Amino acid sequence: MGRSLRVKLCSQCNQPALVLYRIKHEKDGDWVFVCPKCWQQVSENNPFYVYGGTWKAQKKS
């Protein structure tokens, strides 16, 4: 049985990514999904940064 490729957009740059990180990066902010490039920018030296997991376009079977 073939695996389906899921698509999700980065909440910062709106680009599709194969891997996204679920994070909070603002005080009292909501959970968002960001790509690796945006993740590096919003997490660095950010006291409000919280990691919540990794989303992958292709699930393991």
pLDDT in tens, 38-61: 999 999 999 999 999 999 988 776
Retrieve residue 53's tokens: 């997991």
* Token pair for 60: 């393991």
What's the whole-model pTM score?
A: 0.85
- How confident is the model at residue 61, as a pLDDT? 64
Q: Cα(7)–Cα(9) distance, rounded to whole angstroms? A: 7
- Give tens-digit pLDDT for 14-30: 999 999 999 999 999 99
